[in-house]
């Protein structure tokens, strides 16, 4: 997978990973376990390094795999003679240098080439997609859109050996217990004969095949759609797209609705109604209520007169495109918990089924540098709008703090952070408080 069109791709295609990511963005850091300043050193002699060597760790993992009933031949083939992969360690430890903006994210995700190829895939797999929609209730345009965003229709599935990558992360990385469990699940998938060891490739974090399923996602959702006895999401398009359809069905896909739509807001609209939370459900209203508030189809025209609950998202702020999103939007975010990702899936699905480009012009705002976000958070904290410790990551808590600042200073409270907002916050924070005020 590429790093350019999908900043969240390192977290792979599971809801569990999305939760972890959201936690990183919004959770306050744990309190340090500080000793009293006068306390003597606890350990007079250095503690021995309790971390086992990788080979010792691997021997223990082999024993556990065998105890789980995985065949010795599978365990031996997959868990002997491997070593940690330095590139995986490096990618796992990498701190994002910037926060991508929605306009650039979408421009990289939904390119003319990806739209054209998606149209071709819809045509090439027409019969299969119709059968999958009938069976699982998920329209083909969404399956093709996920496929396009995850791996560019199978062209970029990742070339890391999955068991070795997962062993690396289980031994060396954070979240070791989770990756260790994923590794055993990967061994079970091998043991069941769905794929051979040399073909079990994926992302550096273990997301596998056309649809970038983690092993646990594969185990719960993969299907043998072409009936050859193997669930081959690496090589069989029917298996890959059928597994995606089954996954979405299991996540609660509602076949009676679409994902949402671009809309236009009237002048003077109260943008504090836009949801900033990670689930896009901070403020939910029926479509008719949004219509009563003056919201129209993008470019004008009445919203459909349907009894649908919708949330408003403004991923590029009040100057960017506006979207009303429905329940299936949140289903998409269970696949990958990112508003930008879910909007890209929805928009790509629309484009490959004949829909036009967004009506609102893209802002093309540059990415936010980590150091600038840190400065913003520090300023917002100094001004009393942010309680969390600055971490350089623009999560929902920081966006709410930005919204509070906007409210207090007569700016449209869209919670959107760009250079002018950062400058306004900086200026306020740099102004000495008047005594007594
Ligand atoms: Ca198959």
pLDDT score of 306: 84
Helix (H) or strand (E) holding 164: helix 162-172
Flag whether 383 is in a domain.
yes
Distance CA 346, CA 331 (A): 11
Flag whether 79 is in a domain.
yes
pLDDT score of 17: 34
Distance CA 189, CA 313 (A): 39
Domain shared by 73 and 216, yes or no = yes
Domain shared by 320 and 418, yes or no = no
pLDDT score of 50: 77
Flag whether 147 is in a domain.
no
For CA atoms 203, 209, 212, 215, give the dihedral sign: negative
Domain shared by 423 and 290, yes or no = no
3-state secondary structure of 208: strand
Of 310, 325, 340, the residue that ends a domain is 325
Domain shared by 286 and 190, yes or no = no
Domain shared by 216 and 264, yes or no = no
Flag whether 381 is in a domain.
yes
Distance CA 354, CA 340 (A): 21
Domain shared by 217 and 269, yes or no = no
Structure tokens at 73: 């031949």
Domain shared by 211 and 315, yes or no = no
Rounded distance from Cα 220 to ligand 1 centre (Å)? 16
pLDDT score of 95: 80
Flag whether 404 is in a domain.
yes
> pTM for the full model?
0.87
Domain shared by 300 and 182, yes or no = no
Q: Exposed (0-12), middle (13-18) or buried (19+): which is 248, by Cβ within 10 Å?
A: buried
Domain shared by 202 and 299, yes or no = no
| CATH number, residue 381 | 1.10.101
Rounded distance from Cα 398 to ligand 1 centre (Å)? 46
Rounded distance from Cα 225 to ligand 1 centre (Å)? 6
User: Burial code of 14-39, b = ≥16 C-beta within 10 A, e = fewer?
Assistant: bebbbebbbeebbeeeeeeeeeeeee
Question: What residues are paired with 260 via a beta bridge?
Answer: 325
How many domains does the structure of the chain reveal? Answer: 3
Domain shared by 162 and 222, yes or no = yes
Question: Which are the contacts of 28, defined by CB distance < 8 A and separation ≥ 6?
Answer: 387, 388, 389
Flag whether 333 is in a domain.
no
Structural domain boundaries, residue 221: 54-92+158-226
Neighbours of ion ligand 1 (CB under 5 A): 224, 226, 228, 230, 232, 236, 239
Quickly list H helices, 173-236: 176-191, 215-221
Return phi, psi of residue 310, to 5°: -140, 150
Distance CA 402, CA 389 (A): 15
In this structure, what DSSP letter does residue 32 have?
P
Instruction: Tell me how many helices (H) and strands (E) the chain has.
Output: 18, 9
Rounded distance from Cα 115 to ligand 1 centre (Å)? 27
Rounded distance from Cα 132 to ligand 1 centre (Å)? 14
3-state secondary structure of 351: helix
Domain shared by 67 and 189, yes or no = yes
Of 325, 348, 380, the residue that ends a domain is 325
pLDDT score of 405: 98
* Number of other residues whose CB lies within 10 A of the CB of residue 74: 20
Of 308, 325, 342, the residue that ends a domain is 325
Distance CA 406, CA 363 (A): 19
Rounded distance from Cα 200 to ligand 1 centre (Å)? 15
3-state secondary structure of 261: strand
Mean pLDDT per 10-residue section of the chain, whose length is 437 residues: 36 34 32 38 54 95 98 98 96 88 94 98 98 98 98 97 98 92 98 98 97 98 98 98 98 94 96 95 96 96 92 95 97 95 98 96 86 97 95 93 98 96 96 62
Domain shared by 292 and 180, yes or no = no
> Phi/psi zone of residue 158: left (φ > 0), alpha (ψ -120 to 50 degrees), beta?
left
Flag whether 128 is in a domain.
no
Structure tokens at 318: 């009040």
Rounded distance from Cα 361 to ligand 1 centre (Å)? 43
Rounded distance from Cα 243 to ligand 1 centre (Å)? 10
Rounded to whole angstroms, the maximal C-alpha distance in the chain is: 78
Rounded distance from Cα 226 to ligand 1 centre (Å)? 5
* Number of other residues whose CB lies within 10 A of the CB of residue 50: 5
Question: Which are the contacts of 146, defined by CB distance < 8 A and separation ≥ 6?
Answer: 211, 244, 335, 345
């Amino acid at each position: 997978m590429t790093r350019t069109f999908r900043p969240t791709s390192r977290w792979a295609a599971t809801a569990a990973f999305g939760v972890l990511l959201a936690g990183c963005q919004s959770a306050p850091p744990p309190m340090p376990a500080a000793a009293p300043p006068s306390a003597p050193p606890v350990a007079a002699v250095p503690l021995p390094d309790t971390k086992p060597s990788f080979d010792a760790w691997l021997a223990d993992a082999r024993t556990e795999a065998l105890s789980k009933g995985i065949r010795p031949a599978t365990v031996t083939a997959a868990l002997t003679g491997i070593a940690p992969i330095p590139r995986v360690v490096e990618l796992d430890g990498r701190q994002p240098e910037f926060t991508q903006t929605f306009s650039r994210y979408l421009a990289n995700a939904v390119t003319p080439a990806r739209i054209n190829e998606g149209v071709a895939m819809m045509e090439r797999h027409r019969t299969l997609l119709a059968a999958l929609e009938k069976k699982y209730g998920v329209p083909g345009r969404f399956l093709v859109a996920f496929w396009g965003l995850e791996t560019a229709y199978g062209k970029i599935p990742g070339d890391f050996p999955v068991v070795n990558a997962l062993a690396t992360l289980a031994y060396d990385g954070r979240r070791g217990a989770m990756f260790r469990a994923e590794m055993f699940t990967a061994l079970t998938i091998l043991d069941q004969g769905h794929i051979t060891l040399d073909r079990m490739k994926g992302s550096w974090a273990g997301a596998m095949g056309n649809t970038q399923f983690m092993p646990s996602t594969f185990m719960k959702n993969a299907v043998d759609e072409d009936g050859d006895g193997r669930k081959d999401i690496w090589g069989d398009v029917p298996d890959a797209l059928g597994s995606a359809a089954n996954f979405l069905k299991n996540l609660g896909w509602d076949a009676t609705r679409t994902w949402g739509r671009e809309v236009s807001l009237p002048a003077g609209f109260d943008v504090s109604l836009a949801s900033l939370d990670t689930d896009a459900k901070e403020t939910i209203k029926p479509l008719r209520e949004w219509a009563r508030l003056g919201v129209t189809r993008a470019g004008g025209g009445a919203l459909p007169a349907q009894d649908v609950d919708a949330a408003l998202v403004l991923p590029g702020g009040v100057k960017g495109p506006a979207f009303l999103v429905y329940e299936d939007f949140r289903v998409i975010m269970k696949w990958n918990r990112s508003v930008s990702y879910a909007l890209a899936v929805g928009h790509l699905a629309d484009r490959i089924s004949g829909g036009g480009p967004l009506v609102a012009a893209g802002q093309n705002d540059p990415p936010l540098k980590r150091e600038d976000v840190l400065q913003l958070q520090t300023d917002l904290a100094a001004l009393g709008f942010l309680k969390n410790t600055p971490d350089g990551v623009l999560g929902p808590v920081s966006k709410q703090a930005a919204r509070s600042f906007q409210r207090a200073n007569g700016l449209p409270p869209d919670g959107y952070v760009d250079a002018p907002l950062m400058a306004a916050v900086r200026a306020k924070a740099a102004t000495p408080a008047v005594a007594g005020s």
